[in-house]
Amino acid sequence: MTTRSKTIEVSGLHASLPTGDRTLRHFTVHHDGVTIPVSRGGQGRPLVLCPGLNSTQADLHELTELLRRDHDVVTFDLRGHGLASAADRYSFDAFLSDLVAVLAELGRLGLPSEPVLVGYSLGADLAVHYASERPDTVAELVLIDGANPLPEPFITEADLAEFRAMAEDLATRQGVQRVKGSTRQVSLTAQDIFDLNLEIDVVRSALLDRYRKIEHPISMIMSTAIAGDSTEGRVPRHNQLWRAGVERLVHERPHISTSWVDTGHRLVFTHAPDVAQIIRSALHPAGRPTS
């Protein structure tokens, strides 16, 4: 995937974003016809937290607050999510351009050091693509239940009906949040969600090549039951494939550390303290190269 250079406009409190205090500050990044809301707070080493598909910075509040005890944490909403504006297109490249725009603005603000880039689900895939294209602008990666270089498609012909039904159910529930004007609202339609899941599957089929370009430390925090804990239907296949993708990656890139959390894909919500502790333990001292 490639991204194009775009004009970025910024407004808000970006002129006074000191590190070392716990004041929460907000600013916005305007690019590609969308408005991206960004929040920054905490103290310590810079860390940028990228949400995933159908998740917002409000959803990640508990994990964010835990990480802000030790880090200067930046969070934001992807287009069509939370307080970000809706867009006329939703694709992997479009979401990647949102991450690029946010990090470009942080670079202009002058962070004290390159940030740790933490991505959840789709956010993890975006982080890997970003780091493979701009290695000098990040310190290391933490990937949470995403960016898995699967050895075969996760969604096959046999899974299409189930994934379409899941997308429709999710879009219906998100429609209620849009009516409320919630910070957790998502503007994507069922078709958007379905198409993006198929696209992400294709992206992950070529992800090993991206990992080969990254020399920074990488830590993965993965769920043992991304598809649930049922022993029936397609669930066992999906869970086994998820583990096989990680094993494949670590075999080729043995410096990557992996932690498994005995739960499902919502681990950042259901096990936020555990995830935060793993992140703290996994991070290398600033400036330390990967072994």
55 found inside a domain: yes
* Helix axes of 160-180 and 190-205: crossing angle, nearest 10 degrees: 130
Q: How many domains does the chain have?
A: 1
Q: Residue 86: its pLDDT value, please?
A: 95
What pLDDT does 180 receive? 67
Do 216 and 256 touch, CB atoms closer than 8 A?
A: no
Q: Is residue 191 part of a domain?
A: no
**Residue 258 φ then ψ, to 5°:** -130, 135
Quick one: pLDDT at residue 11? 44
Count of Cβ atoms closer than 10 Å to residue 270 Cβ: 14
Q: CA 221 to CA 236: how far, in whole Å?
A: 20
Measure the CA–CA gap between 195 and 115, rounded to whole angstroms.
31
Q: What is the span of the domain harbouring residue 146?
A: 8-155+205-282
42 close to 72: Cβ distance less than 8 angstroms: yes
pLDDT at 64: 98
User: How confident is the model at residue 200, as a pLDDT?
Assistant: 98
pLDDT of residue 15: 32
Evaluate whether residue 122 is within a structural domain: yes
Q: What is the model's pLDDT at position 286?
A: 66
The rounded distance, in Å, linking the Cα atoms of 141 and 175 is 33
Residue recorded with tokens 């909403």 = 77
**How does DSSP classify residue 55?**
-
Q: Is residue 48 in some structural domain?
A: yes
Predicted pLDDT at 5: 30
Tokens encoding 241: 């494939």
Give me the pLDDT at residue 13, please. Answer: 37
What pLDDT does residue 243 have? 98
The CATH number for 33's domain is 3.40.50.1820
Predicted structure pTM score? 0.90
pLDDT of residue 6: 32
| Domain presence at residue 290 | no
Q: b/e per residue, 160-170, with b = 16+ CB within 10 A?
A: eeebeeebeeb
Examine residue 175 and state whether it is found in any structural domain, yes or no. no
Per-residue DSSP letters for 61-112? HHHHHHHTTTEEEEEE--TTBTTSPP-S---HHHHHHHHHHHHHHHHHHT-S
**Alpha-carbon gap, residue 118 to 102, rounded angstroms:** 14
Q: What is the pLDDT of residue 173?
A: 87
Chunked in runs of 10, what are the mean pLDDT values of the chain (291 residues)? 34 39 85 96 96 96 97 97 94 98 93 95 98 96 98 96 95 77 90 98 96 96 96 96 97 96 97 97 67 40
Q: What pLDDT is stored for residue 179 in this prediction?
A: 57
Determine contact, residues 21/5, Cβ cutoff 8 Å: no
